[in-house]
Structure 1
Amino acid sequence: MNDGSTARHRSAFTLAANEVRVQAEQPEPGWSFSVGPGLTLLRNSRENFHTALSLTLAGRRRPTAGSVSLDHRGITTQRHADLFKLVALAGAAEVDTLDRIVPVRAVLREQVNWASPWWKHVGKDLWEHDLVRPWLQPLGLDIDLDAKVGEIDPHDRFRLRVLLALVARKDAAVLIMDDVDQVRDMELRDEILAELRELSLSLPVVASTVNPDFSGLATRVIDLRASGEATGEGNAHGESEERHREHSGHGGHGGHGQRGSGEAGGTPMTPDTPAAPATAMTATAMTAQDRARIPAHQDEIPTLSEEN
């Protein structure tokens, strides 16, 4: 089990996309890139199959073309079933939602029950459960379990989403975080990226975004935008937009002031930011055939979206 405490000295890890296309209309040859340990930002254009790519990297759907490979603990695999088991996924509204009127305790207990053997008793103190406790410090999560999901702030709902994904994959090799821009507040986004960076010291994290890494928090940024949109060194094949940055070479974000609500007010996102929250794909881009590729029970992972 990846308990988040000893993983800072993990063996080599690589997640690679090899000419991956996630829609038939996507131009060839598709995306090719690889990521290693640390926090990776995949910078894409608006409505350019963000969520479909996240689902594909996480083994929740099959690529239209190309392949995804995972090198983990000395073993390399391209099997869809292996990716499904070894990749934690948070933030994709197509497979996870939160009911605002449900208590946090019920949401978390349900996820722990799903992830535990049927015969194993789940105690009353969920914070001390083996699947939960290791991730509380990296995520900075300390919320009232008796509060309803709609009563906790957007930042805590985002943290809860990540926690639920990690509970569902106790042996995760990597966390895929779909659309970090959905919080719609740049200061809050930076706080979340700082927490994901801390988490990435224990478990590699890959997050999708349409915005730059303004505060230099990521280990690397990979530009997936079309060549006409990309700036600097990035291109549509997924070359690095910025030089790789090691955690030791960068300080954290220098002071955020008061945290915005993430739902109203606060610092506005840049013009690149999607106007709509949650998924970066449009309803027309996600076809019925695409939805059929998504497992009906992704693990019952509820997550935050601004509508929930």
Structure 2
Amino acid sequence: MNDGRRARHRSAFTLAANQVRVQADQPEPGWSFSVGTGLTLLRNSRENYHTALSLTLAGRRRPSAGSVTLEHRGKTVQKHTDLFRMVALAGAAEVDSLDRIVPVRAVLREQVNWASPWWKRVGKDLLDHDLVRPWLQPLGLDIDLRTKVGEIDPHDRFRLRVLLALVSRADAAVLIVDDIDQVRDMELRDEILTELRELSLSLPVVASTVNPDFSGIATRVIDLRTMGEEHEGGGRRAVTSTEPTELTEATDGDAASLAAGTSGAVPTASAAPTAQIPANQDQIPTLSEEN
């Protein structure tokens, strides 16, 4: 099992998108970038194939073009079936929306049961289960399991979705978190990013966002809104940083842009081209409304 005691000394890890397009009408050449250990933010334009990219990186769907490569523990995989098995995914309503009237205990027990061998009994103390216990401290999750999902606050609801993703992939190589902005509160978003940064000491984390990392929490930010650096062959590649870039204090114009889902702040890194907003783009509901 993957836990913080040994994950801090893991072998090399890389998740790379190679001219990936997630819709047929997405402009060529698609996105090319690579991420390593730590917390990576993928910054994109609003409604610009956010969820489709997260699902593709996690092996929940095939790319329309290009490929995703995962290097982990000396093994390299590209098949979406291998990615499906090795990548944990949270925050995408298509795969982890929660029934608000169900107690947290029932939701967690169901996930633990699915992730455990059929012959292994799941005890009463779910929080002390081997699949659950390692993640509670980095996530800061401490909730009454008798509480209904709809009665816990948005922060704990988001944490719960991350926990369920980690339980479902006990030996995950990486965690993908879709749309961290769905909490709709910048202070809460920073708290979640801080928790994900702590979690990334044990497991690489890749999160999608439309907003900058004003507080410099992430290990790196990859900007998918702009063209990447040209390289031989005419394609594009992303340029990533290994440390957060220091950001200047936001101006009134930045604040107005942030409210609209964009910002004039200088990004930490850049990647391949921004696609046109599709008419039927999936929209993730806010936690306060749906999850």
Residues 1:282 and 1:160: Cα distance change in structure 2 (over 3 Å): farther
Q: CA deviation at 1:240?
A: 3.6
Q: Is 1:168–2:156 an aligned residue pair?
A: no
Distance in 2 (CA, whole Å) between partners of 1:145 and 1:2 is 24
Distance in 2 (CA, whole Å) between partners of 1:284 and 1:164 is 28
Question: Where in structure 2 are the equivalents of 1:1-308 lying within 5 Å?
Answer: 1-227=1-227, 237=236, 239-240=238-239, 243-245=241-243, 270-273=258-261, 284-286=280-282, 306-308=289-291
Deviations for 1:119-172, whole angstroms, at most 9, x for unmatched residues? 111000000000000001110110000000011111101100000000000010
On the 8 A contact 2:183/2:287 being kept in 1, the answer is no
Distance in 1 (CA, whole Å) between partners of 2:53 and 2:138 is 26
Q: What secondary structure is seen at the aligned counterpart in 2 of 1:221? A: strand
On the 8 A contact 2:34/2:238 being kept in 1, the answer is no
Q: CA deviation at 1:3?
A: 2.1
On the 8 A contact 2:182/2:287 being kept in 1, the answer is no
Q: CA deviation at 1:271?
A: 2.7
Distance in 1 (CA, whole Å) between partners of 2:16 and 2:99 is 34
AA partner of residue 206 (structure 2) = V
On the 8 A contact 1:51/1:92 being kept in 2, the answer is yes
> Structure 2: where are the runs of 5+ without partners?
247-254, 263-276
TM-score in terms of structure 2 length: 0.84
Q: CA deviation at 1:6?
A: 1.3
Distance in 2 (CA, whole Å) between partners of 1:223 and 1:215 is 16
AA partner of residue 88 (structure 2) = A
AA partner of residue 38 (structure 1) = G
Deviations for 1:155-214, whole angstroms, at most 9, x for unmatched residues? 101100000000000010000000000000000000000000000000000000000011
> Structure 1: where are the runs of 5+ without partners?
251-266, 275-280, 287-302
Match of 1:261 in 2: none
Distance in 1 (CA, whole Å) between partners of 2:237 and 2:150 is 37
Q: CA deviation at 1:238?
A: 5.9
Distance in 1 (CA, whole Å) between partners of 2:278 and 2:136 is 33
Distance in 2 (CA, whole Å) between partners of 1:104 and 1:155 is 14
Q: CA deviation at 1:306?
A: 3.4
What is the CA RMSD across the aligned residues, in angstroms? 2.5
Equivalent residues, number: 262
Q: CA deviation at 1:239?
A: 2.5
Q: What secondary structure is seen at the aligned counterpart in 2 of 1:135? A: helix
Q: What secondary structure is seen at the aligned counterpart in 2 of 1:195? A: helix
Deviations for 1:60-113, whole angstroms, at most 9, x for unmatched residues? 000000000000001111121110000000001112211111000000000000
AA partner of residue 181 (structure 1) = D
Distance in 1 (CA, whole Å) between partners of 2:288 and 2:96 is 9
Identity fraction in percent: 79
TM-score in terms of structure 1 length: 0.80
